[in-house]
Amino acid sequence: MSILVVTGTDTGVGKTVVTAAIAALARERGATVAVVKPAQTGVAPGEPGDLDDVIRLSGVTTTFELARYPDPLSPAAAARVSGLPTLSLASAAARIRELAESHRLVIVEGAGGLLVRFDEDGGTLADLARSLQAPVVVVARAGLGTLNHTALTLEAMAGRGLDLAGVVIGSWPAEPGLADRCNVADLEMLAARPLAGALPEGAGSLDQAVFARVARAGLAPALGGVFNPAGFRSTLKLSP
């Protein structure tokens, strides 16, 4: 059994697409997979959420959303505004451990970034990952601003004793600019390891069969794919 936590350097960086890609490749290998979204925000009852995208893209249907809040805020703030109870991280951890007993892989997708609050006591995804003793995939942007956000996320992880499973660029542009291309080497320097993947922009709109091929090409072997960071770097054309 294995538990993997997916977080982002910010909101909207591609966590759900990366989660779906990891799930798709694990399913392709024949592994039993469950995907857990501890808290979904910004989605009204009955509306499709992130897990619906995971199901559509990956074909993995064993998914669990543990709490939902309609306002697009942090889980703690969204719960406060709506008058709904906050997520219990202890209960979430217990449920995830239970799933891990019967599934080869349980993927936990966070909300926003690593230190976004889930409750009024200041509980975060970092606390959940530490409780689960699970490695963390960090999904980052390609462009300007990503280095500071990634550095802060990795520093927060190191300070809490969390293991890094890799940094993945969640949406690699079809026509990368100079900042995008230069940032690759700096992201690897921050992580002290090669990039763990780069999924192309628009991957979330693909059908399931095409998405599986894109996931395989866009994620490193540690995450189930064939992504070659050295080969990727060779395409960046940084020389004048």
pLDDT tier for residue 30 given thresholds of 50, 70 and 90:
very high
| Pairwise CA distance, residues 72 & 166, whole Å | 27
**What pLDDT shows up at residue 238?**
74
pLDDT at res. 239: 58
Tell me which residue has tokens 């059994």.
Answer: 1
Condensed to tens digits (0 to 9), the pLDDT of residues 38-88 reads 999 999 999 999 999 999 999 999 999 999 999 999 999 999 999 999 999
Q: Is there a contact between 37 and 51 (Cβ–Cβ < 8 Å)?
A: yes
CA dihedral of 119, 121, 125, 127, whole degrees rounded to 10: -150
Out of 1.10.10.350, 3.40.50.300, 3.40.225.10, 1.10.10.10, select the CATH number for domain 2-233.
Answer: 3.40.50.300
Active site residue 37: yes
* pLDDT, averaged across the chain: 96
- H-run or E-run covering 80: helix 75-82
Q: What is the spatial distance between Cα 150 and Cα 154, in angstroms, rounded to a whole number? A: 6
- Choice among 7, 22, 26, 37 that is catalytic: 37
Q: Note the pLDDT of residue 1.
A: 58
